[in-house]
Chains A and B, each alone.
Chain A
Amino acid sequence: MSIFRDLFLTFAQIGLFTFGGGYAMIAMIENKCVEQKNWISHDDMMNVTVIAESTPGPIAINCATFVGFKQAGFLGSLVATLGIVFPSFVIIFVISIFLDYFLEITWISNAFHGIKIAVGILILDASITMVKKMKRKILPFIIMTCSFVVMLLVNIFSWNISSICLMSIAAIVSLFVFVIMGAPEQKDGVGK
């Protein structure tokens, strides 16, 4: 089997069987690429996770690009990335055709009234976990609190401020503080 076909099929399999995205996929990629296929080392896997954390985009896709590139250069990274996206693309595309039709059925639409509430709770729960993992420092907490308050007001009053604008301000403030005050002491590794 050519390496391209192998990459595509392996990552398509990972894409098909991982629900919940993000970290669930990391475990699966680790299992396939490190233990079964020996495509990358465990250390490499850790490195790419750290890189993925500080670059935009879903971690799983970052990993696929990384592994594909290591195995077969640019084309490899392309094939692996498309492979991991392919299954969910097909599934969601099919759902998108039927969703409106389903929502016209009363009991399904009522079920979605309930689901709507669960989504809010899931997002809140995920963000609380992130707050708990934050480093116990003053500046991050000020930035977090300010962006929380502003974003909540933006939502409630439908102000025309995008989250990208908020993120840019936070980045500038953080850079400014760094230039004036220097780096924070480097004792914290991963935070609490």
Chain B
Amino acid sequence: MIYLELILGFLRVGCFSFGGAYGAIPLIRDVVLSYGWLTDETMTYMIAVAESTPGPIMVNLATYVGSSQAGFWGAVLATLSVVLPSFFVILLVMIALKTLLKNKYVQAVLRGLKPCVIGIILATGVYMIINNCIPFASEASVNFQAISITAILVVVLFGSKIMFKKKLSPIMLIIISAYLGIMVYGI
């Protein structure tokens, strides 16, 4: 049953999403692709939409997936499920477990989790970029349009970091990339 799957899937995401906004993206991809809810393509579009709209990325993704799979109530259930674990963890921390996080064994577990999450996010980013330029799934060979857009975006991103000593905001980069997409692939 789709409602139950949505609840279980997003509770899982909510429980394991260490490492901030980007930490949740590989997890959500995992869950969404394994249930076959969205294609990899739509998932990526939605990450961009979630980046460019207000609110935490992971909540936005949950709302979208829920809505696309089971309408309004799907969206409500998925959103609540993704928020619920962190809600209860904070309540627990405040009521009883303030010392738990200082416990040396808990600390040891967290010391292992953090670098692992970073590795997973890194792998997701690298895979997405390679997959755009040289698609693994399809027979199509090297995608030169994608490679040129990638190159321009990387130059823009790091150029702005060096020139203005300030990172380009994600929304700006997404706007530039949309413009490049229209220019390269045509209107």
- The reply to whether B111 and A127 form a contact with Cβ atoms under 8 Å apart is no
Task: List the count of A-B residue pairs having beta carbons below 8 Å apart.
Answer: 356
Q: Is the CB of B87 within 8 A of A77?
A: yes
Q: Contact: B67 with A55, CB < 8 Å?
A: no
Q: Which residues of B sit under 8 angstroms from A74, Cβ to Cβ? A: 91
CA distance A127 to B21 in the complex (A): 11
Please tell me if B30 contacts chain A, counting CB pairs below 8 Å. Answer: yes
What residues of chain A lie closer than 8 Å to B185, measured between beta carbons? 110, 113-114
B170 interface contact, C-beta 8 A: yes
The residues of B that contact A149 with a CB separation of less than 8 Å are: 119, 123
A interface, CB within 8 angstroms of B: 15-23, 25, 51-52, 54-62, 65-66, 69-70, 74, 77-78, 81, 84-85, 87-89, 91-93, 95-97, 99, 103, 106-107, 110-128, 130-131, 134, 139-141, 143-152, 154-156, 162-164, 166-167, 169-175, 177-179, 183-184
Task: Please classify how large the interface on chain B is, using the bins under 10, 10 to 19, 20 to 34, 35 or more.
Answer: 35 or more
Question: B94 touches which one: A59, A66, A170, A174 (CB < 8 A)?
Answer: A66
| Residues in chain A near residue B48, CB distance under 8 A | 112, 115-116, 118-119
With beta carbons under 8 angstroms apart, the residue of A81, A95, A166, A167 that contacts B49 is: A95
Q: Which one of A97, A113, A178 lies within 8 Å of B108 (CB-CB)?
A: A178
- Say yes or no: A69-B91 contact (C-beta < 8 A), given A85-B59, A123-B128, A147-B116: yes
Q: What are some 20 contacts across the A-B interface (CB < 8 A)?
A: A55-B86, A57-B89, A58-B21, A58-B56, A58-B57, A60-B56, A62-B89, A85-B55, A91-B54, A112-B45, A117-B150, A117-B181, A119-B44, A122-B125, A124-B125, A124-B129, A143-B119, A144-B118, A173-B112, A178-B105
- Bound CA span A22–B180, Å: 28
Q: Which residues of B contact A (CB under 8 A)?
A: 12, 14-22, 24-27, 30, 34, 41, 44-60, 63-64, 67-68, 72, 75-76, 79, 83, 85-87, 89-91, 93-94, 101, 104-105, 107-129, 131-132, 136, 145-146, 149-150, 153-154, 157, 169-171, 173-174, 176-182, 184-187
